[in-house]
A and B are shown apart, each in its own frame.
Chain A
Amino acid sequence: MKRVGLIASVLAGLHLLVLLAGFAAPYDPVEQTRTLPFAPPSRLHFVDKDGAFHLRPFVYALTTDPDNFDAYIEDTTLPFPVQLMVAGSTYSVLPGVESRLHLFGVETPARISLLGTDGFGRDVFSRLLHGGRISIGAGLLATLCALLVGLGFGTLAGFFGGRVDSAVMRLADLFMAVPWLYLLFAVRAALPLHLDTRATFLLLVAVLGIVGWARPARLIRGIVLSARERTYVTAARGFGAEAPYLLRRHILPQTLGVVLTQAGLLVPQYILAEVTLSFLGLGVGEPTPSWGAMLGTLQQYSVLTSYWWMFTPAVALVAVAIAYYALTSMVHERMRLVAS
């Protein structure tokens, strides 16, 4: 019980952080610093070059090594202490409400890149937080679509049985057979270019979710089938209850468990699907960050072998996924214990 609460609050905390990305991130995620491509994470110092200890950590400004593209040298002449609640780039808290307050930062010309920079000199930590919005949002949207359609078809198949059931199941087979991810290429290419890339991406995510109805539908159909045969349902039918009443009162509540556990499993799966979409070039366009787009740069061999900080979106991904799975299995356990 306590552990469920713990996991749930960790998950909630992650989501909150991502939601407050504008505040928590020190920089604008699309701001390029062309003099600092692929800079390693800033080193926080407590002891300066004279040996004096400072309570407040500080960073040094970076200068480029003239002979090497991505070798940087710290300029130890001037320390830049880390400050809290600084004024930085503008971001919108709510539609129409803007703010310039950031959780932490340093004065220019130094930069504090907790997770380094990417190939255009953009701060990876800021992009990680802002990118979480897109990635987790994509996961939630796709899951919603998949579950809605799956619930609809599954209930249909399970409740009416017979011909309807086999028709729906054959349709489900069809949807599982077609390699949708790769055919999304073609869908993207056929879409007009004048749509906003964000809108196009949302469309693709929704499509991905909708075509993923088959598996949840199968599971829901199973539940509905067995629920339909329960004695109290047959009794209710015997009393003259109509289908909508049966569904609402007796059958659909039975599916709640499956729907919830499916949701818990599908959200990370669809976040992963966003990663794959971005790998294949179908993600949200530049310069908007998303975890998939950030991991997509790892497909280049040089990035894979040289810049370890570009892996951090994978860590975030795994952390979110583990939290969801843990929560799901705990809820599942609880519900089984309650049911038996």
Chain B
Amino acid sequence: MTLIVRRIASSVVLLFAVSVLSFTVLELAPGDFFAEMQADARIGSQTVDGLRAQYGLTQSPIVRYWQWVRSFVRGDLGFSLAHRAPVSSVIWARAANTLLLTIPAMVVTWCLALPLGIWIARHRNRWIDRVSSGVTSTLVAMPDLLVALLLLLLALRTGLFPTGGMWSPGAEELGYWARLLDLGRHAFLPLLALIATTLPSVVRHVRASVIEAAEAPAVQAARGYGIARSRITSRYVLPLAANPLVSLAGLSIATLLSTSLLIEVVMSWPGLGPLLVEALLAKDVHVVLSASMLASALLVFGNLAADLTLYAVDPRIRV
């Protein structure tokens, strides 16, 4: 119990540190939100300065950061300059859209990768292993941006899938099942892109840890005893292989909000990704801070869950 309390305490410190770091780096870059207006020849610089003062951008960075922290601990995520609305009204819906994509992707990835990895490990060094190694290497080596762009091209050329967005215009007038179908068609390509970018490395890790676990003396002994292979796999190999895999799964959870960023931007999926990129470019400070806090909170949770599971599952670890 004290362990959990200590971990939570250090996580809070971590979140605080993340926010300070994000804020500092944002402030380092010259320019602020209203810089865009300044470049407009029709707007005078007095108007821009007036707006800056009105939204508190002329105060010192420390004051502004402190104000944000105070409102954050009260649950108010700040005010978005770009949307002229509170950040919370903008961010939760977007985060939900992202999770709508990443959670199914993660489930599918792991459901595919585990049996696939075990199977490949069993046929190690035969042609199946070689082929899969080549395929996974290729996919891992490709930048996910490129994968997303290629899929977009595919959508365009074949016309089978929509080229962006989450719903078709007019979708609100459809019935429940038709809406679900519409959502599915829009989500298919981003899901495919996500799975294509995460599956290969998970498969490789599963394969590697299964192979390593299969070499353990305990497993060799069990084999020597003539125990059935399936029993060996489930009772001996998997628990041993679980250690690195649980960490990896924890990392998958931890990055639920960030892996899909580039893919969302390319495929116009209205998730946290495009919001964050736009806010970064527009220097909409509160949105960037809140989004990084959200992602970091999830990271901390994912790591914590992984570590706790590890203590429970792996017999070798002593707390």
- Residues on A close to B: CB < 8 A? 166, 170, 173-174, 176-179, 182-183, 185-187, 189-190, 268, 272, 275-276, 279, 295, 298-299, 304-305, 314, 317-318, 320-322, 325-326, 329, 336, 340
Contacts and interface: CB of A to CB of B under 8 A. Distances in A.
Nearest to B207: A329
Contacts of B292: 178-179
Given A275-B143, A318-B137, 10 more contacts: A173-B303, A182-B280, A189-B31, A268-B140, A299-B149, A304-B149, A305-B156, A320-B141, A321-B138, A329-B133
B21 interface: yes
Contact of B146 (A179, A295, A325): A295
Contacts of A182: 276-277, 280
B280 A295 contact: no
9 contacts: A173-B299, A178-B296, A186-B28, A268-B140, A279-B143, A317-B141, A322-B134, A326-B133, A336-B215
Nearest first, the 4 A-B pairs at minimum CB distance are A321-B141, A186-B29, A189-B29, A190-B28
A170 B149 CA distance: 36
B73 interface: no
A314 B146 contact: yes
B171 interface: no
A164 to B, nearest CB: 14
Interface in B14-55: 14, 17-18, 21-22, 25-26, 28-31
B22 A174 contact: no
Contact of B30 (A176, A189, A276): A189
Contact of A187 (B25, B258, B280): B25
B141 A272 contact: yes
A231 to B, nearest CB: 16
B133 A185 contact: no
A179 B258 contact: yes
A176 B14 CA distance: 11
B14 A173 contact: yes
Nearest to A276: B143
B314 interface: no
A295 B149 CA distance: 12
B212 interface: yes
Contacts of B215: 336, 340
B25 A186 contact: yes
Given A170-B13, A321-B140, A326-B133, A304 B300 contact: no
Given A174-B18, A177-B18, A318-B142, A305 B153 contact: yes
B140 A178 contact: no
B180 interface: no
B259 to A, nearest CB: 11
Contacts of B17: 174
B285 to A, nearest CB: 12
A177 B137 contact: no
B140 A325 contact: yes
A277 to B, nearest CB: 11
Contacts of B296: 177-178
Contacts of B300: 173, 177
B10 interface: yes
Contacts of A272: 141, 143
Given A174-B18, A178-B18, A179-B295, A185 B141 contact: no
Q: Which of B13, B141, B280, B296 has the most CB of A within 10 A?
A: B141
A325 B137 contact: yes
A162 to B, nearest CB: 13
Contacts of A166: 10
Contacts of B138: 318, 321-322
B145 interface: yes
Contacts of B295: 177, 179
Contacts of B276: 182
Contact of A322 (B22, B137, B299): B137
Contacts of B145: 275-276, 279, 299
A52 to B, nearest CB: 40
B153 A170 contact: no
Interface in B159-194: none
Contacts of A325: 133, 137, 140-141
B141 A186 contact: no
A190 B14 CA distance: 25
Scoring A170, A186, A275, A326 by chain B CB atoms within 10 A of each residue's CB, the highest score goes to A186
Contacts of A185: 29, 280
B299 A176 contact: yes
Contacts of A340: 215
B137 A170 contact: no
Contacts of A183: 22, 25-26
Contacts of A173: 14, 299-300, 303
From A173, A275, A305, A314, residue with most partner B Cβ within 10 Å: A173
A335 to B, nearest CB: 12
A276 B143 CA distance: 8
B214 to A, nearest CB: 11
Contacts of B30: 189-190
A329 B28 CA distance: 42
